Amino acid sequence: MTGLFHELTIGNTVIPGNVFLGPMAGVSDLSFRLLCREQGASLVAMEMVSAKAVCYNNGKTWDLMRTVPEEAPVSLQLFGHEEEAIAEACDRIRERQIPFALLDINMGCPVPKVAGNGDGSALMKDPALIERIVRAAVLHMDRPVTVKIRKGFDKDHLNAVECALAAQEGGASAVTVHGRTREQMYSGRADWSVIAQVKEAVSVPVIGNGDVTDGPSAEAMLQETGCDGVMVARGAKGNPWVFREIRVYLTDGSYVERPPQREIVQMLLRHARMACAEKGERIAMNEMRSHAAWYLAGFPGASQLRGKINSVTLLSQLEALLRKEFPYAG
């Protein structure tokens, strides 16, 4: 089926498509978001930031919220479990006049240091609190507020529909649903049926998340669940081209092959240079080790090459290493 790619209205904001980059801590920074937007992502998401850290005026937290016009539209994602902190963070963010399109509240992060503190997916234990948090954000924010949830906290608490309805009651303009429980983390298959259940229950747009890695899987999710858009997160690691592939496939059913090795290596180098310009060479090169592993996955000798890249500390060293391995690197 074609024609599944379309604009999506969330609250009073029109997003120019329905294929989103999800927020990923340590991954979806400015340089990566720019590459994904360039390759066709309709909306890109910042790394999540702590509402309390915003309230404390933490400098590193504000750095994570830096955005540029070229990546618009972009969503900003907060996490926290205290209504007052969410409200104050929204006030402070609004005062900074950061040009983002949507404010998302994270209610799905499964990592222990977040969920163990009552944030992220732990909020799904208390739908009434979800409603209050969303209402606080809506009252203190001048842009649409959305939420990202999971199938449930664990197999004994599969309450995505109840949580989505609570978010809608609080004023959420859209809901993203990841088809795994917190207990599953990222293992096993995502259960898309829960996305369909949420779509059936709420009147706001629903974004499906989980196991979308290419055009056919995006099409299948849209058809099977009736959701309004898809979110790609881990499937974009080392593969910003996935958004181009999905857009084309949803538009006319055409396949776009993954780029040749030359283009992948050149993108890796471009990404590294952008990251160094954005956050400095020391930090950027440390983070680029993971990105390099994702870009080079499947290459002959990738394991040995990753080992060499892990010893690199300077951009010039990475450039020299890749030129030696791939003369066309540039």
pLDDT one digit per residue (tens) for the chain, 330 residues: 568 999 999 999 999 999 999 999 999 999 999 999 999 999 999 999 999 999 999 999 999 999 999 999 999 999 999 999 999 999 999 999 999 999 999 999 888 899 989 989 999 999 999 999 999 999 999 999 999 999 998 888 899 999 999 999 999 999 999 999 887 888 789 999 999 999 999 999 999 999 999 999 999 999 999 999 999 999 999 999 999 999 999 999 999 988 999 999 999 999 999 999 999 999 999 999 999 999 999 888 888 898 899 999 999 999 999 988 887 665
Q: Among the options 36, 55, 90, 109, which is catalytic?
A: 109
Domain range for 115: 8-252
- 197 shares a domain with 114: yes
Question: Contact at 8 Å (CB) between 101 and 74?
Answer: yes
- 16 shares a domain with 69: yes
CA atoms of 113 and 217, how far apart (whole Å): 31
User: Residue 18 is part of a domain; what is its CATH number?
Assistant: 3.20.20.70
Active site residue 227: no
CA atoms of 51 and 219, how far apart (whole Å): 35
CA dihedral 254, 247, 151, 192 (to 10 degrees): -20
The CB-side HSE value for 297 (13 A sphere, CA atoms) comes to 12
- 279 shares a domain with 223: no
* Number of domains, the chain: 2
Q: How far is CA 246 from the centre of its chain?
A: 16
Question: Contact at 8 Å (CB) between 102 and 13?
Answer: yes
The residue out of 218, 252, 286 marking a domain boundary is 252
- 209 shares a domain with 80: yes
- 280 shares a domain with 241: no
Q: For the chain, give the number of residues.
A: 330
The residue out of 198, 232, 252 marking a domain boundary is 252
- 303 shares a domain with 172: no
